[in-house]
Structure 1
């Protein structure tokens, strides 16, 4: 089976799209090249990024836009330069559409394509020097660059694999790169689409202590089932900043709120601890005292998805350890309803759209 030069998907035309006004329409993908793979989409995870982009939350979105970057399906057309995928393979594509791939790019050369200054996102951007743009996975087909197309391991269900291609890798990478494992005391801020993967990964990586941190205790029971050995409800526990001070070696913050109690979170770090921000607020983070870092030799950092080699590693890790995200499947035709529910915080903990 091969694709045509016309795909169909849920198209957002303006900011009102986030209110459930996307239209199912045809669109023309960028021209196919020998380095591309066309995917017949079976599953697409729903990400908070989709909400931010539909409402132009991070700046003006390039409309018309088809969102969705947790894509799994069947390779139906494979360019001659793509050697690791063949027609009929079950494959996926994540949040990164391409990198510059220039010989003098240190990030691309070192296997850190996700930090390439020339990074192109899966949707919402034009290819450099052209007016061609990428379209996402709320659709029947997706055109992906071969370098950013991943074979899905046999032991991993498509429903489970889809949200790992953005949410999963976004948390896996900072945990793995910052030493999550035996002996490590880890905190995960936010028990949502990202945060629940953080708890699952930390448990599978063998962390000594795993603390879920949330405003309320409503998700405490779920967090414990996911692997949390402790829970801090910042909106309910008095003096939590001092009660749990210096008890965590690594904190990964998955929340996208701009009014998070950052000073309090930093107080939880033990000497030489690390705080890694991966949630993406639409506004600036709050100010904090430098002494929260200086007095303990602590570090404040960030992380963004992961490079191809690490995504492949994560997928194999998930298959080997039989890790399954907490997902709710919905039909692709329900995308407008689902995006509203996603914006309302109703996901428990990741929606996955399924094509009939």
Structure 2
């Protein structure tokens, strides 16, 4: 580690048993490039992806690894080739920190579908872009990322509210917005799973103008909460014959669950012909086979969506600020990260944890 990198300290995982066993220590960030910014971290949301990566659930993780990709703080260093940012700006970074920026998808603002592959904000290999090493995330004091993937946080939007939107929020906002939520023909929206992602989906579906919002959960235990968040209808999947009364009642269904035994056939029956079912959760175990027959006879479209590029994140944050949207978050101390991720793994948050560096002082311009 060079002397210029000596301020990089964070919660480092050294193997797949690191959930609850991370070590606070110095680490080596990606090499500095003049297209980068550094961010002094105020807050970092805790995402289920952090746990999947920490335990190598989605494939082998490169250790040592610092997870965390819902980062908000102030710019502390700006590369010479960077425009649009200055020291002291409040910014955020989500799950993606680089792409080729030159392919058709990138030029269209669809960076998560970069034709050459993306670099994650942690456990990402910059060899596909600028060769600056591996990415380290936001359970730390500082973050170093390409400036293209940093976004300004609107005035009036608290950092602890913006942080979990950087991944969790945009993961559901993007498929809602890109599939026409609230527009003619897509005013009846369903959400499967009322958790960290699902509660964001209910909030954003309402904000985007959906008129009928159906929340789907296993039991009725979250029904009152779902209605408070914007749901107008509710399905408890454990009820006998739960789905039949709601056949073809939706235009768009966003599935936030990531269990491998999801009842995809039933989900397809909920949407009208030419309606859409969009998955945003990734199971660690192989999911059930695609139900080709049901797809054909339902006339529905089955697809998936991943996070969102900087442009869609900016749009989402502006909407959140304008409508004063209030996700359900619980602030936790960054120094308690091992307890926080253990609680997250046990399913305790209602619905997002946001870790805060208690000694944080914003960088002044």
1:220 equivalent to 2:223? Answer yes
Which residue is equivalent to 1:232?
A: 235
Which residue is equivalent to 1:169?
A: 170
* Partner Cα distance (1:131, 1:40) in 2: 20
CA contact (8 A) 1:6 1:27 kept: no
* Partner Cα distance (1:88, 1:6) in 2: 17
Q: Any unmatched runs of 5+ in structure 1? A: none
CA contact (8 A) 2:5 2:29 kept: no
1:48 equivalent to 2:48? Answer yes
Give me the CA root mean square deviation. Answer: 1.5
1:208 to 202, 208, 211: 211
Which residue is equivalent to 2:289?
A: 287
1:17 equivalent to 2:29? Answer no
* Partner Cα distance (2:258, 2:106) in 1: 28
Give the stretch that moved more between structures: 176-185 or 43-52: 176-185
CA contact (8 A) 2:215 2:231 kept: yes
1:354 to 328, 353, 356: 356
2:107 to 106, 109, 114: 109
* Partner Cα distance (2:6, 2:100) in 1: 25
CA contact (8 A) 2:190 2:216 kept: yes
CA gap of 1:288–1:98, structure 2 versus 1, over 3 A, is closer
CA contact (8 A) 1:66 1:123 kept: yes
* Partner Cα distance (2:109, 2:92) in 1: 19
1:329 to 320, 326, 331: 331
Deviation for aligned residue 1:152? 0.3
TM normalised by structure 1 equals 0.96
* Partner Cα distance (1:34, 1:344) in 2: 41
C-alpha offsets along residues 32-77 of structure 1, whole Å, 9 cap, x if unaligned? 1111110000100000000100111001111111000000001010
* Partner Cα distance (2:120, 2:307) in 1: 11
* Partner Cα distance (1:61, 1:219) in 2: 35
Which residue is equivalent to 1:262?
A: 264
Deviation for aligned residue 1:214? 1.0
C-alpha offsets along residues 214-236 of structure 1, whole Å, 9 cap, x if unaligned? 1122111111110011111112x
C-alpha offsets along residues 214-270 of structure 1, whole Å, 9 cap, x if unaligned? 1122111111110011111112x1112212111111000011111111111111111
* Partner Cα distance (1:299, 1:154) in 2: 39
Counting matched residue pairs gives: 351
* Partner Cα distance (2:66, 2:324) in 1: 31
* Partner Cα distance (2:274, 2:268) in 1: 11
3-state secondary structure, aligned to 1:264: helix
3-state secondary structure, aligned to 2:257: coil
* Partner Cα distance (2:125, 2:205) in 1: 36
* Partner Cα distance (1:14, 1:288) in 2: 34
TM normalised by structure 2 equals 0.93
* Partner Cα distance (1:182, 1:304) in 2: 21
1:199 equivalent to 2:202? Answer yes
Deviation for aligned residue 1:283? 1.7
Give the stretch that moved more between structures: 198-207 or 106-115: 106-115
CA contact (8 A) 1:6 1:29 kept: no
Q: Any unmatched runs of 5+ in structure 2? A: 359-365
* Partner Cα distance (1:289, 1:307) in 2: 30
